[in-house]
Amino acid sequence: MNLKASFHTLGCRLNQAETALISNRFRAQGYDIVDERAASDVCVINSCTVTEGADSKCRQLVRQVLRRNPNTFVAVVGCYAQIGAEALKQIEGIDLIIGTQDKLRVLDFIDEPLKLPEPRLVRSRMTKDPFTIAANDLSAPTTRANLKIQDGCDFMCSFCVIPFARGRARSRAFWDIQREALQLINAGHQELVLTGVNIGTYSFEEKTFLDVVKMLLTIPALKRLRISSIEPTTIPYELIDLMADSDVLCPHLHIPVQSGDDAVLAAMKRLYTRSEFEAFIEHAQRRIPHALIATDMMIGFPNETEAAFQASCDLLMNAPLAYAHVFTFSERDGTAASKYANHVSSQKKKARSARLHELSEQKKRQFYERSVGQTLRVLTEEQEADGRWAGYTDNYVRMVLEDPRLSHNQLVHARVTQAQAAHVMGEMVTP
C-alpha cells in the first residue's frame, strides 16, 4: 500500500504555488495525496510568519495535526520555519523543520517517515542567485495554476519580516518559467497566475517582468494570464496598455497601498506617496474601465493618528478600489518598526480594523452591483453541493451559476444577474 501525504498551506499565494510543487513531488515518488484532515504518514505544513497571528496559527495547526494523528511524520517548512525554528522546536512531535532555501526539497530529508525523538533542523543560507525549479509530474486536478517567477524582496519596508524569512530578491530563469508554463498548459490549466514576493522586480539577465508577461502571452494555448499582488512602484505603464488590449491578460490588479497617509507611508518606508498611488490606479481604471483593482491596507502602524486612519478610509472610499484586504500591524522582531514609539492600543486597532473591513465590504458590494447586466467570462472551478458551479471571472469576481451544460474547467460567458455579499450570480450566454 502506498504511503499517504497531506499538506497544509498557511499564508500567501506564493506558498500555495510552492505547496503544489512539493505535493507533486510526493505524488511522483509514489505517495497518495490525501485531504488535509485525513490521517497520513507524512504531513507537510507550509508556514507563514507575516504577523504574530500567523505564527500562532502555525503552532496551533501543528498541535491539532498531532492531536488528530500522533503518529504522522510532521514537517514544518517555509517562512515561520526559517525564523521561528526555536519556538517550533518546543512543540513535541515535530520531526522536521526546513527553512526557505530547502523547502521544496522536503522529500530529500525523509528517508522513511519514522517519528524522530528530536526535530531535525535544516536551515541553509539563502542565496541571491537566480533559480530554476525541477520539472514536475502534474496529475493533480487542473483549472488555474500558480506559476512562481520570483522570490525574496530587497525593499525592506519597516513593518515587514518577509525579507528575513524569504531572503533577498531573486528571479527564476526566464527559460525555466517558459518550460513550466508550457507544461502546466499542456496538463490542461487554462489560467496561470504569476506569483512571487515582489514580482514587479523580476530581473534575469536582460529580462524584466514585462518580458515575462509578453513571453507568456505568445503561447497560443494559454487562455488566461493573471498577475498576483504587485508593488505600486514596480508596474510599468506598458503593462496597463497590454492589459487593456489583451483577451488573455486578466483585467485585475492587486496593488498594496498599506496607508492613505503620507507620513505613515514614509515611516513604513514605502516608495510612493498617496497621490502617486492614486494617479496610477486612476489611470489604470480609465484605461480599463472593467478592471478590478484591489489593495492591502494596514491599520494600527505606530503613530497612526485618527486623521491618518481616516485618510486610509477616504482613500478606500474615493479611489477606484474594489476592496481592501485589511491587516493589523504587528510587531515583528528585527524590523525597523518594532523599535518605533507610539504604538496604537489594541482596542483602537480592533475598532479601526472592524471599520475598514466594513468599508471594504461596502466597496466590494458596489463593485458587484455595478457588474449586474454585464457579460463576463468565467472559469468553472468547483461544483457546490447543490450542483451549481463556481469560479472566477476574468476580472476576479467570484460567480456562481447553474446550467446543466456546465462541467469542470470550462471557460464560458455569463451574464451577471444578481450581486450578493461574497459573489455574483450569473447565467450562461452564448457568445
198 near ligand SF4 (CB under 6 A): yes
131 near ligand SF4 (CB under 6 A): no
Q: Nearest distance from residue 322's CB to ligand SF4, in Å?
A: 21
Nearer to ligand SF4, 51 or 395 (CB): 51
162 near ligand SF4 (CB under 6 A): yes
- Candidates 157-165, 180-188, 283-291, 371-379; binding stretch for ligand SF4 (CB under 6 A): 157-165
153 near ligand SF4 (CB under 6 A): yes
191 near ligand SF4 (CB under 6 A): no
157 near ligand SF4 (CB under 6 A): yes
Restricted to residues 228-247, the positions that interact with ligand SF4 (CB under 6 A) are: 231
156 near ligand SF4 (CB under 6 A): yes
Set of cell numbers at residue 104: 521544496
Single out the residue of 11, 113, 119, 163 in contact with ligand SF4 (rule: CB under 6 A).
163
- Candidates 58-66, 97-105, 156-164, 186-194; binding stretch for ligand SF4 (CB under 6 A): 156-164
Q: Nearest distance from residue 139's CB to ligand SF4, in Å?
A: 33
Q: Nearest distance from residue 323's CB to ligand SF4, in Å?
A: 19
197 near ligand SF4 (CB under 6 A): yes
122 near ligand SF4 (CB under 6 A): no
Interaction site with ligand SF4 (CB under 6 A): 153, 155-157, 160, 162-163, 197-198, 231
